[in-house]
Amino acid sequence: MDLRDYIRILRSNWLSILLITLLGVAVAAGATALTKPTYTARTQIFVAVNSGETATDILQGSSFSEKRVTSYVTLATSPRVLQPVIDELGLDTTVPALASTVEATAPPQTVLINLSASHQDPAQSARIANAVAESLISTVYAVEDPEGGGDPLVDLSVVESAAVPLTPSSPRVALNLVLGLVVGAALGVAFALLRSLLDSRIRNREDVERITDAPVLGAFADHKDAEDEPIISLDDQFDPRAENYRQLRTHLKFTNVDGGTQSVVVTSSIPGEGKTTTACNLGIMLAESGSRVLVIDADLRRPRVAKTLGLEGAVGLSTVLSGQIGLEDAIQTWGPDGELDVITSGEIPPNPSELLGSDAMRRVLRQLEGRYDVVLLDAPPLQPVTDPTVLAAMASGVMLVNRVDGYVHREQLQGGLDSLESVDARLLGLVLTRVPNKRGTYYAYQYAYESDAVEPTSSRRSKGNSKGNGRGAGEPNRQKALTGMRFR
């Protein structure tokens, strides 16, 4: 992943990161509130050497003191020093417990010993610090002069007695809150990255491009009216959905560089990705440009074309393949002037795979390719059944519809691609549906101008024919979606 991927992950998970960060601050605040305050009192001891009056003697004594100080620091928390403190103050504690509250340090290249004692009672912390200092001095004198008959080699004196602290040394509220903020933010970012790595759902175009190098022929935003009105209206020449389908139409034509009839299988990895809507609207747009187009509902398990276009579904592909009716009798026309030809699924057969893979299906497809510029086959999804791969082996290309709003997993798309590759199908490209709307992108762009005059485009089949349905060519609702159907 590059920097843009990380930024995208952080932007898409900003709410989770914020909540985890606030949780970290809340935990730090709660822990701080529940922690009893502790007060720390400090005292300081000076170590001197009682030897000599010359400069050499003083220098040697100073060096001797520095070396001795290190030993005295260790001695300060020993039982020999702390036990007298417990006895003197009558503390209800043990030597190890008291040692954990006492700290002795020596600044480098000095003869000073800093002693500190912590306690929940500020006055008690001062008493303990002063008592430890006095006990340390007594212990040092006893150690340095065990016989007690001469002058001690060193002289320890308290240069700063411990005072009663006024503010607690812990908890440190500001520091704890900052640490809670930092730790919470770090956990939030880690959660976002881990969630992104473990999440196999396809949520944008970049996720698709990481799986396949196949070109994207079209992309359709998550339109609020798409489910209620799946078929586009051609009345509004600047409707964004219509413009997207015109772009898909153009890109599909560029895939046919050698010319001739295109038989295109429109399928998806799993159900519910919008393949039927894509096939029907693409057929309408191809017919609008003047192409001779046939849409076939080749989904003999869960057909949708008849319902989507408002056509008769009882007679169609299955009845043709089973020899019940002829091919001409199964073709229906759709549109004000019959611009688009459609073959619905017909009755659902018990053996759809055998019908679609039969020689009869191959002969029908070859016959239709000789009559139309484009034949679109709305096939079942790739994952549940083998029907689309059978059709893909017969057709000149496959258009794979992929939903990118988190509905499809990467493994499902990869499985669909592998199925097509297993039969050497030619993948023309992908069509992305349910693309999330983003402000400032093409999908959110609205046209802000109007043409002075818009001439309605006509298919070859409708030229000079304005009386088939009793409507004039300039009538406002001429291109409305659902119209009457008729058999050829």
**pLDDT at res. 52:** 53
Phi, psi of 192 (to 5 degrees): -65, -45
Which residues, at least 6 apart from 425, have a Cβ–Cβ distance to it below 8 Å? 265, 389, 392, 393, 395, 397, 398
pLDDT band at 481 (very low <50, low <70, confident <90, very high): very low
Distances (CA, A) of 253 to 242, 243, 261, 457: 17, 15, 11, 18
Distances (CA, A) of 242 to 106, 182, 215, 220, 456: 81, 49, 21, 10, 14
- At residue 487, does pLDDT exceed 60? no
Q: Residue 434 region, left (φ>0) first, then alpha (ψ -120 to 50), else beta?
A: left
Which residues, at least 6 apart from 384, have a Cβ–Cβ distance to it below 8 Å? 270, 271
Q: Which CATH superfamily is domain 39-160 in?
A: EIF_2_alpha (3.30.70.1130)
**pLDDT at res. 11:** 86
Pick the range with the lowest mean pLDDT from 89-93, 356-360, 451-455. 451-455
Q: What's the mean pLDDT in 379-389?
A: 90
Q: Distance between CA 392 and CA 425 in Å, rounded?
A: 6
Q: What is the pLDDT of residues 464-478, one digit of tens each?
A: 333 333 333 333 333
**pLDDT at res. 229:** 82
**pLDDT at res. 304:** 93
- Burial of 309 per CB tally in 10 Å (0-12, 13-18, 19+): buried
pLDDT band at 261 (very low <50, low <70, confident <90, very high): confident
Q: Tell me how crowded residue 379 is: count the other CB atoms within 10 A of its CB.
A: 30
- At residue 308, does pLDDT exceed 50? yes
pLDDT band at 451 (very low <50, low <70, confident <90, very high): very low
Burial 384-396 (b: 16+ CB within 10 A, else e): ebbbbbbbbbbbb
Q: What is the pLDDT of residues 208-222, one digit of tens each?
A: 998 999 999 999 987
Residue 268, SS3 per DSSP: strand
Q: What is the pLDDT of residues 115-173, one digit of tens each?
A: 999 999 999 999 999 999 999 999 988 887 766 555 667 788 899 999 999 999 888 88
Q: Distance between CA 150 and CA 461 in Å, rounded?
A: 127
pLDDT band at 204 (very low <50, low <70, confident <90, very high): confident
Every domain of the chain and the residues it spans: 3-35+171-198, 39-160, 205-449+456-461+478-487
Q: Distance between CA 443 and CA 437 in Å, rounded?
A: 6
- Residue pair 431/249 in contact (Cβ under 8 Å)? The answer is no
- Burial of 222 per CB tally in 10 Å (0-12, 13-18, 19+): middle
- At residue 311, does pLDDT exceed 50? yes
Architecture of the CATH domain 205-449+456-461+478-487: 3-Layer(aba) Sandwich (3.40)
pLDDT band at 438 (very low <50, low <70, confident <90, very high): low
User: Average pLDDT of the chain?
Assistant: 83
Pick the range with the lowest mean pLDDT from 41-50, 97-106, 177-186. 41-50
pTM, whole model, 2 decimals? 0.64
**pLDDT at res. 226:** 67
Q: Tell me how crowded residue 451 is: count the other CB atoms within 10 A of its CB.
A: 9
**pLDDT at res. 486:** 43
pLDDT band at 236 (very low <50, low <70, confident <90, very high): low
